[in-house]
Amino acid sequence: MEELIIKFGLLDPARRQEILDFLDFLLSKQQEEKTESFDAYKSEILKVSTWSEKEIEAMQANSKKMNTWQVPQW
């Protein structure tokens, strides 16, 4: 941590602000990751989707079946 503080002190004010802005960006992303759940994401997508819940379930079931297909060997 001491090395980080020393290097930060060597930067000019514009570069320091750039580092601080980047840290703010990382912290905001971290906060979003903690608060966002799959159910919340799914409900947001369903608000703009033209597919019904039943159609989505059918696609998920088909996706699982497709993953079990064996690719022919040449």
> Of the ranges 3-7, 59-63, 65-69, which one carries the lowest mean pLDDT score?
65-69
Residue spans of the domains in the chain: they are 2-50
Given this model, what pLDDT does residue 36 score? Answer: 63
Residue 34's pLDDT band, with cuts at 50, 70 and 90, is low
Nearest alpha-carbon partner for 49 in 61, 64, 59, 35: 59
Higher confidence at residue 30 or residue 13? 13
Nearest alpha-carbon partner for 23 in 8, 37, 43: 8
Q: Is the pLDDT of residue 74 over 90?
A: no
In the DSSP assignment, the letter for residue 68 is T
With a CB cutoff of 8 Å and minimum separation 6, the contacts of 59 are 51
CA 45 to centroid of chain Cα atoms = 15
